[in-house]
Amino acid sequence: MNKRFVLRSLALLALSAVSGLALAQDKPLKIGVTAGPHAQIFEQVKKLAEKEGLKIQVVEFSDYIQPNAALAAGDLDANSYQHKPFLDQQVKDRGYKLVSVGYTVNFPIGLYSHKVKSLDELKPGARFGIPNDPTNGGRVLLVLQDKGLIKLRPDAGLKATPLDVVDNPRKIKFVELEAAQLPRALDDLDAAAINTNYALPAGLQPGKDSIAQESAKSPYVNVIAVREQDKDKPWVGKLLKIYQSEEIRKFIQSEFKGAVVPGF
């Protein structure tokens, strides 16, 4: 009698554990993205994932800081919005236990202006808007150096700041703003560097409206990030495989026509 009772109890515990696992799998994965291309792409990933039995909830953010904070806090399961140098800087500065698990897309950054049609037309003392986060700000300064407008200290690297500018013949004044604010500030500036995922929602087409663009050969390929403790979980590999599928590649190429390019 006691033996049957023990066996029955064990069976009920096992059933409870299986039910709990099923409930955990039924809970959608929360993926943080920024508005624009990242959100559009992940809506397509979501559709493909559902066919594979993987439920996804896309959570949009309006800045570059909150998606990593939310992921580190456990409010998200993954995010897809940043390039590797930015993630590395966030991990270093904020101590986040976050890792990249795969490449997504590249956004060649564009330089825009409502006042001039080329960089050569920028007047002395021109006010030039750049992102105020170290990684994207440094990225823009490297573009301006590549275009011949400024020179940076040789050891400035990817995280250059305006303090690293050693030659500035036109005495360009750098106005550091949150990346998401730059499209709205364009009328008050002589020119600005705007990340593609903020340029497109603002109606700016990189290939048509920019006065210059970053070279396509860039270290700034975007990534999917997760918490270190989750990197080997089965859903991570499954999610990455869906994102890096031929269907998503074709969607990116068709939808963005070179403004966003696959990085996988």
> Does residue 21 lie in a domain region?
no
Which residue, chain included where needed, has tokens 């049957």?
A: 4
Q: For residue 7, is it within any domain?
A: no
pLDDT at 22: 38
Whether residue 20 contacts residue 13, with contact meaning beta carbons closer than 8 Å, is answered with: no
DSSP for residue 229: G
Q: What is the pTM of this model?
A: 0.72
102 with 126, same domain: the answer is no
Burial class (CB in 10 A: 0-12, 13-18, 19+), 181: middle
Q: What is the full DSSP assignment across 65-99?
A: SHHHHHHHTTS-SEEEEEEHHHHHHHHHHH---EE
Whole-angstrom Cα distance, residue 1 to residue 211?
84
Give the pair of three-digit tokens for residue 157: 């690297």
Q: Rounded to whole angstroms, what are the CA distances from 169 to 113, 148, 214?
A: 20, 10, 21
Whether residues 114 and 93 fall in one domain: no
CA gyration radius, the chain = 23
Structural domain including 72 reads: 26-107+220-262
| CATH number of the domain bearing residue 169 | 3.40.190.10
Q: Tally the domains of the chain.
A: 2
pLDDT at 162: 97
Q: What is the pLDDT of residue 218?
A: 78
- The tens place of each residue's pLDDT in the chain, 264 residues long, gives 454 544 454 444 444 443 333 334 479 999 999 999 999 999 999 999 999 999 999 999 999 999 999 999 999 999 999 999 999 999 999 999 999 999 999 988 999 999 999 999 999 999 999 999 888 999 999 999 999 999 999 999 888 999 999 999 999 999 999 999 999 999 999 999 999 889 989 999 888 899 999 876 778 899 999 999 999 999 999 999 999 999 999 999 999 988 898 999
Instruction: Report the distance separating Cα 222 and Cα 262, nearest Å.
Output: 9
| Strand bridging mode 221-227 / 151-152 | unpaired
